[in-house]
Amino acid sequence: MRLAILLFVPAILMAGGHQPRQPRHHGGPVSTAREAKAIAEQATGGIALTARRIPLNGASGGWEVDVHMPKDTRGWRCTVDCDTHGVFTKDRIPNPPLKKRR
């Protein structure tokens, strides 16, 4: 009996551990540029600079996001589908310059 208790204590302690929060979408289409930029950054590993709405395969449309790649000569132009919350296409473009901080 004591052995069983000793085996379950570590399992109980590990189950109560803190998990890091993952960005979640709350259903529905991607509605803000911030969401579209986050999706493009996650898909490419770069820094999303601009996002603009575009018509895309259906009612919800999509976002066109330009992504700067810090250690590369070329960046990405990603098309984010509003319905699937994923990158629809990725095209290589000349690396867009970063906005200068003041």
More confident residue, 15 or 46: 46
Cα separation, 86 vs 43, in Å, equals 8
> Could you tell me which residues come within 8 angstroms of residue 51 by beta carbon, excluding any fewer than 6 positions away?
33, 36, 37, 40, 63, 64, 65, 66, 80
Residue 8 pLDDT > 70? no
Residue 29 pLDDT > 90? no
pLDDT of residue 31: 86
Mean pLDDT of the chain: 82
Residue 13 pLDDT > 60? no
Q: Residue 7: which pLDDT band, with cuts at 50, 70 and 90?
A: low
The mean pLDDT of 31-44, rounded to a whole number, is 94
Q: Which of 3-7, 8-12, 29-33, 52-56 has the highest mean pLDDT?
A: 52-56
pLDDT of residue 56: 85
The mean pLDDT of 8-30, rounded to a whole number, is 60
